[in-house]
Protein backbone atom coordinates (compact mmCIF):
# COMPACT_ATOMS: atom_id res chain seq x y z
CA UNK A 1 0.00 0.00 0.00
CA UNK A 2 1.21 3.47 -0.90
CA UNK A 3 0.39 6.46 1.35
CA UNK A 4 0.07 9.80 -0.42
CA UNK A 5 -0.51 13.20 1.16
CA UNK A 6 -0.11 15.51 -1.84
CA UNK A 7 -2.99 16.33 -4.17
CA UNK A 8 -0.68 16.48 -7.18
CA UNK A 9 0.99 13.18 -6.31
CA UNK A 10 -2.42 11.55 -6.00
CA UNK A 11 -3.56 12.92 -9.35
CA UNK A 12 -0.35 11.72 -11.02
CA UNK A 13 -0.67 8.25 -9.50
CA UNK A 14 -4.33 7.93 -10.51
CA UNK A 15 -3.49 9.05 -14.05
CA UNK A 16 -0.80 6.39 -14.32
CA UNK A 17 -3.32 3.69 -13.36
CA UNK A 18 -5.94 5.08 -15.72
CA UNK A 19 -3.45 4.98 -18.60
CA UNK A 20 -3.01 1.26 -17.89
CA UNK A 21 -6.78 0.75 -18.11
CA UNK A 22 -7.23 0.12 -14.38
CA UNK A 23 -10.61 0.82 -12.76
CA UNK A 24 -10.57 2.92 -9.58
CA UNK A 25 -12.69 2.26 -6.49
CA UNK A 26 -12.89 4.96 -3.83
CA UNK A 27 -13.71 4.73 -0.12
CA UNK A 28 -13.80 8.20 1.50
CA UNK A 29 -13.54 8.11 5.31
CA UNK A 30 -12.72 10.28 8.30
CA UNK A 31 -10.57 7.53 9.75
CA UNK A 32 -10.67 5.59 13.02
CA UNK A 33 -11.58 2.63 10.87
CA UNK A 34 -13.97 -0.15 11.91
CA UNK A 35 -15.57 -3.12 10.21
CA UNK A 36 -18.08 -0.87 8.48
CA UNK A 37 -15.32 0.97 6.63
CA UNK A 38 -13.54 -2.29 5.86
CA UNK A 39 -16.72 -3.73 4.34
CA UNK A 40 -16.64 -0.83 1.86
CA UNK A 41 -13.04 -1.70 1.03
CA UNK A 42 -14.01 -5.35 0.52
CA UNK A 43 -16.63 -4.35 -2.04
CA UNK A 44 -14.19 -2.07 -3.84
CA UNK A 45 -11.54 -4.79 -3.99
CA UNK A 46 -14.11 -7.13 -5.56
CA UNK A 47 -15.44 -4.63 -8.08
CA UNK A 48 -12.39 -2.54 -9.01
CA UNK A 49 -8.74 -3.02 -9.95
CA UNK A 50 -7.36 -0.33 -7.64
CA UNK A 51 -8.84 0.70 -4.29
CA UNK A 52 -8.22 4.19 -2.94
CA UNK A 53 -9.13 5.17 0.61
CA UNK A 54 -9.02 8.74 1.85
CA UNK A 55 -8.68 9.62 5.53
CA UNK A 56 -9.58 13.23 6.19
CA UNK A 57 -11.46 14.66 9.16
CA UNK A 58 -13.33 17.36 7.29
CA UNK A 59 -13.78 20.52 9.39
CA UNK A 60 -16.49 21.87 7.09
CA UNK A 61 -19.03 19.26 8.15
CA UNK A 62 -18.76 19.94 11.87
CA UNK A 63 -20.98 22.65 13.29
CA UNK A 64 -20.37 24.87 16.35
CA UNK A 65 -20.06 22.80 19.50
CA UNK A 66 -19.71 19.51 17.59
CA UNK A 67 -16.89 17.05 18.12
CA UNK A 68 -14.29 18.01 15.50
CA UNK A 69 -11.41 18.39 17.93
CA UNK A 70 -12.15 15.17 19.82
CA UNK A 71 -13.16 13.11 16.83
CA UNK A 72 -11.09 9.90 17.28
CA UNK A 73 -7.88 9.73 15.26
CA UNK A 74 -5.28 6.96 15.03
CA UNK A 75 -3.51 7.07 11.68
CA UNK A 76 -1.02 4.27 12.40
CA UNK A 77 -3.81 1.88 13.32
CA UNK A 78 -5.83 3.05 10.32
CA UNK A 79 -2.87 2.56 7.99
CA UNK A 80 -2.39 -1.01 9.20
CA UNK A 81 -6.09 -1.89 8.89
CA UNK A 82 -6.36 -0.33 5.44
CA UNK A 83 -3.38 -2.27 4.13
CA UNK A 84 -4.63 -5.55 5.60
CA UNK A 85 -8.04 -4.96 3.98
CA UNK A 86 -6.53 -4.53 0.51
CA UNK A 87 -6.30 -0.76 0.03
CA UNK A 88 -3.78 0.08 -2.70
CA UNK A 89 -3.56 3.85 -2.21
CA UNK A 90 -4.17 5.68 1.06
CA UNK A 91 -4.78 9.39 0.55
CA UNK A 92 -4.01 11.20 3.81
CA UNK A 93 -3.92 14.94 3.11
CA UNK A 94 -3.44 17.78 5.56
CA UNK A 95 -6.31 20.26 5.82
CA UNK A 96 -4.20 22.91 4.05
CA UNK A 97 -3.71 20.51 1.14
CA UNK A 98 -7.44 20.29 0.41
CA UNK A 99 -8.29 23.84 1.56
CA UNK A 100 -5.15 25.90 0.78
CA UNK A 101 -7.05 29.18 0.88
CA UNK A 102 -10.47 30.68 1.40
CA UNK A 103 -12.60 29.10 -1.38
CA UNK A 104 -13.91 31.34 -4.12
CA UNK A 105 -16.66 28.80 -4.92
CA UNK A 106 -18.90 26.92 -2.49
CA UNK A 107 -20.92 23.76 -3.08
CA UNK A 108 -24.34 23.61 -1.44
CA UNK A 109 -26.70 20.69 -0.99
CA UNK A 110 -30.21 22.03 -1.64
CA UNK A 111 -32.27 18.84 -1.61
CA UNK A 112 -32.72 15.96 0.84
CA UNK A 113 -31.01 17.98 3.59
CA UNK A 114 -33.76 19.63 5.67
CA UNK A 115 -34.88 16.41 7.42
CA UNK A 116 -33.27 13.76 9.66
CA UNK A 117 -29.73 14.80 10.63
CA UNK A 118 -29.79 17.79 8.31
CA UNK A 119 -32.66 19.42 10.23
CA UNK A 120 -30.50 19.99 13.31
CA UNK A 121 -27.13 20.35 11.57
CA UNK A 122 -27.41 23.31 9.18
CA UNK A 123 -24.49 23.43 6.79
CA UNK A 124 -23.35 19.87 7.57
CA UNK A 125 -24.17 18.47 4.15
CA UNK A 126 -22.71 21.54 2.45
CA UNK A 127 -19.43 20.49 4.04
CA UNK A 128 -19.95 16.90 2.90
CA UNK A 129 -20.66 17.75 -0.74
CA UNK A 130 -17.84 20.30 -0.81
CA UNK A 131 -15.15 17.87 0.33
CA UNK A 132 -16.53 15.07 -1.86
CA UNK A 133 -16.52 17.33 -4.90
CA UNK A 134 -12.83 17.99 -4.22
CA UNK A 135 -12.04 14.32 -3.61
CA UNK A 136 -13.98 13.11 -6.66
CA UNK A 137 -11.98 15.53 -8.80
CA UNK A 138 -8.68 14.35 -7.32
CA UNK A 139 -9.31 10.59 -7.27
CA UNK A 140 -11.53 10.40 -10.39
CA UNK A 141 -13.08 7.09 -9.24
CA UNK A 142 -15.13 4.76 -11.39
CA UNK A 143 -17.07 3.64 -8.32
CA UNK A 144 -17.40 5.23 -4.86
CA UNK A 145 -18.53 3.22 -1.85
CA UNK A 146 -20.61 4.57 1.05
CA UNK A 147 -22.10 2.90 4.11
CA UNK A 148 -25.88 2.72 4.24
CA UNK A 149 -25.81 3.44 7.99
CA UNK A 150 -25.76 7.11 7.05
CA UNK A 151 -28.58 6.70 4.56
CA UNK A 152 -29.22 10.43 4.29
CA UNK A 153 -25.61 11.01 3.30
CA UNK A 154 -25.91 8.31 0.63
CA UNK A 155 -29.04 10.00 -0.73
CA UNK A 156 -27.33 13.42 -0.77
CA UNK A 157 -24.20 12.02 -2.42
CA UNK A 158 -26.26 10.29 -5.10
CA UNK A 159 -27.86 13.67 -5.78
CA UNK A 160 -24.43 15.33 -5.90
CA UNK A 161 -23.03 12.87 -8.42
CA UNK A 162 -26.12 13.14 -10.60
CA UNK A 163 -26.47 16.93 -10.44
CA UNK A 164 -22.79 17.72 -11.14
CA UNK A 165 -22.32 14.81 -13.56
CA UNK A 166 -19.43 13.25 -11.68
CA UNK A 167 -18.43 10.14 -13.64
CA UNK A 168 -18.53 7.88 -10.61
CA UNK A 169 -21.12 5.27 -9.67
CA UNK A 170 -22.29 5.58 -6.06
CA UNK A 171 -22.41 2.13 -4.43
CA UNK A 172 -24.30 1.87 -1.10
CA UNK A 173 -23.06 -0.93 1.16
CA UNK A 174 -25.15 -2.45 3.93
CA UNK A 175 -24.49 -1.47 7.54
CA UNK A 176 -22.13 -3.67 9.53
CA UNK A 177 -23.43 -4.45 13.01
CA UNK A 178 -22.23 -5.83 16.29
CA UNK A 179 -23.67 -9.21 17.31
CA UNK A 180 -26.37 -7.44 19.34
CA UNK A 181 -27.42 -5.29 16.38
CA UNK A 182 -25.68 -2.02 17.23
CA UNK A 183 -24.41 -0.36 14.06
CA UNK A 184 -20.63 -0.06 13.92
CA UNK A 185 -19.56 3.55 14.41
CA UNK A 186 -16.40 5.45 15.29
CA UNK A 187 -18.43 7.19 17.99
CA UNK A 188 -19.34 3.98 19.83
CA UNK A 189 -16.11 4.30 21.82
CA UNK A 190 -17.67 7.26 23.65
CA UNK A 191 -20.53 5.19 25.10
CA UNK A 192 -20.40 4.36 28.79
CA UNK A 193 -20.80 0.69 29.77
CA UNK A 194 -24.45 1.28 30.59
CA UNK A 195 -25.10 3.21 27.38
CA UNK A 196 -23.44 0.44 25.37
CA UNK A 197 -25.90 -2.03 26.88
CA UNK A 198 -28.84 0.23 25.99
CA UNK A 199 -27.77 1.24 22.47
CA UNK A 200 -28.88 -1.95 20.63
CA UNK A 201 -32.46 -1.00 21.51
CA UNK A 202 -32.32 1.56 18.70
CA UNK A 203 -32.04 -1.09 15.98
CA UNK A 204 -34.55 -3.37 17.69
CA UNK A 205 -37.05 -0.51 17.85
CA UNK A 206 -36.49 0.30 14.16
CA UNK A 207 -37.21 -3.31 13.22
CA UNK A 208 -40.40 -3.48 15.24
CA UNK A 209 -41.62 -0.06 14.13
CA UNK A 210 -41.14 -0.82 10.44
CA UNK A 211 -43.50 -3.76 10.90
CA UNK A 212 -45.99 -1.55 12.74
CA UNK A 213 -45.94 0.79 9.73
CA UNK A 214 -47.05 -2.05 7.46
CA UNK A 215 -49.98 -2.79 9.75
CA UNK A 216 -51.03 0.58 11.16
CA UNK A 217 -49.35 3.42 9.28
CA UNK A 218 -46.77 6.13 9.80
CA UNK A 219 -47.79 7.85 13.03
CA UNK A 220 -48.48 4.55 14.80
CA UNK A 221 -45.00 3.35 13.82
CA UNK A 222 -43.35 6.56 15.04
CA UNK A 223 -45.24 6.38 18.35
CA UNK A 224 -44.24 2.73 18.72
CA UNK A 225 -40.57 3.63 18.25
CA UNK A 226 -40.76 6.36 20.90
CA UNK A 227 -42.36 3.96 23.37
CA UNK A 228 -39.68 1.35 22.71
CA UNK A 229 -36.98 3.92 23.49
CA UNK A 230 -38.42 4.97 26.86
CA UNK A 231 -36.06 2.54 28.63
CA UNK A 232 -32.98 4.12 27.03
CA UNK A 233 -31.18 6.89 28.92
CA UNK A 234 -30.21 8.72 25.73
CA UNK A 235 -32.34 11.58 24.40
CA UNK A 236 -34.22 10.95 21.17
CA UNK A 237 -33.09 13.50 18.59
CA UNK A 238 -35.51 12.36 15.90
CA UNK A 239 -37.36 9.40 14.46
CA UNK A 240 -38.91 9.71 11.01
CA UNK A 241 -40.37 7.66 8.20
CA UNK A 242 -39.80 9.04 4.70
CA UNK A 243 -39.55 7.92 1.09
CA UNK A 244 -36.10 6.78 0.01
CA UNK A 245 -33.96 8.19 -1.50
CA UNK A 246 -36.16 11.29 -2.00
CA UNK A 247 -36.65 11.79 1.78
CA UNK A 248 -40.20 13.09 1.44
CA UNK A 249 -43.28 12.39 3.55
CA UNK A 250 -44.73 9.23 1.98
CA UNK A 251 -48.07 8.92 0.27
CA UNK A 252 -50.04 5.70 -0.04
CA UNK A 253 -48.49 5.05 -3.45
CA UNK A 254 -44.88 5.18 -2.19
CA UNK A 255 -43.39 1.74 -1.67
CA UNK A 256 -39.71 2.20 -0.74
CA UNK A 257 -39.31 3.87 2.63
CA UNK A 258 -36.78 4.55 5.36
CA UNK A 259 -37.31 4.65 9.09
CA UNK A 260 -34.38 6.52 10.61
CA UNK A 261 -33.52 7.70 14.10
CA UNK A 262 -30.84 9.53 16.06
CA UNK A 263 -30.29 9.17 19.79
CA UNK A 264 -28.02 11.47 21.76
CA UNK A 265 -26.17 9.91 24.68
CA UNK A 266 -23.91 11.85 27.04
CA UNK A 267 -20.86 11.84 24.75
CA UNK A 268 -22.10 10.25 21.51
CA UNK A 269 -24.90 10.79 19.05
CA UNK A 270 -25.86 7.54 17.31
CA UNK A 271 -27.80 7.22 14.06
CA UNK A 272 -29.39 4.15 12.50
CA UNK A 273 -32.00 3.24 9.92
CA UNK A 274 -33.85 0.50 8.10
CA UNK A 275 -34.94 0.72 4.47
CA UNK A 276 -38.06 -1.30 3.78
CA UNK A 277 -40.85 -1.65 1.26
CA UNK A 278 -44.60 -1.76 1.69
CA UNK A 279 -44.77 -4.72 -0.67
CA UNK A 280 -42.91 -7.22 1.49
CA UNK A 281 -41.30 -7.76 4.88
CA UNK A 282 -38.79 -5.04 5.92
CA UNK A 283 -35.44 -5.39 4.16
CA UNK A 284 -33.47 -5.46 7.41
CA UNK A 285 -30.63 -7.32 5.72
CA UNK A 286 -29.98 -4.31 3.49
CA UNK A 287 -28.72 -2.30 6.40
Phi/psi at 283 (nearest 5 deg)? -85, 60
Question: Average pLDDT of 170-189?
Answer: 93
Give per-residue pLDDT as tens, 141-176.
Answer: 999 999 999 999 999 999 999 999 999 999 999 999
Q: Does residue 37 carry a catalytic annotation?
A: yes
Same domain (yes/no): 198, 168: no
Residue 121 vs residue 158, higher pLDDT: 158
Within a domain: 178: no
The residue from 144, 173, 202 where one domain ends is 173
Residue ranges at the known binding site: 30-37, 61, 147-150, 153, 176, 184-187
Same domain (yes/no): 216, 104: no
Burial 105-126 (b: 16+ CB within 10 A, else e): eebebeebbeebbbeebebbbb
- Angle formed by the axes of helices 151-163 and 124-139, to 10°? 60
Residue ranges at the known binding site for beta-alanine: 61
Whether the Cβ atoms of residue 274 and residue 282 lie closer than 8 Å to each other:
yes
Domain of 215, in residue numbers: 186-286
Same domain (yes/no): 247, 215: yes
Q: Look up the CATH number of the domain holding residue 60.
A: 3.40.50.620
- Tell me the whole-structure pTM to 2 decimals: 0.89
Same domain (yes/no): 63, 168: yes
Catalytic hit among 37, 124, 165, 224:
37
Same domain (yes/no): 125, 150: yes
Same domain (yes/no): 167, 37: yes
Give per-residue pLDDT as tens, 255-277.
Answer: 999 999 999 999 999 999 999 99
Same domain (yes/no): 144, 231: no
Domain count, the chain: 2
Within a domain: 179: no
Same domain (yes/no): 166, 224: no
Amino acid sequence: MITISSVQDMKNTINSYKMKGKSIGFVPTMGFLHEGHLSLVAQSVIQCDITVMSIFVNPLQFGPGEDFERYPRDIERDRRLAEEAGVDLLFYPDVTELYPSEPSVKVMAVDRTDVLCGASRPGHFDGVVTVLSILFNIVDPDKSFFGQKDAQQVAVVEGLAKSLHFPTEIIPVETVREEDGLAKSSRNVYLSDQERKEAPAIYQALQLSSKVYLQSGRMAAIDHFKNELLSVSGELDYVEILTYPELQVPSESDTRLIIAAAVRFERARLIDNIIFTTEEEPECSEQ
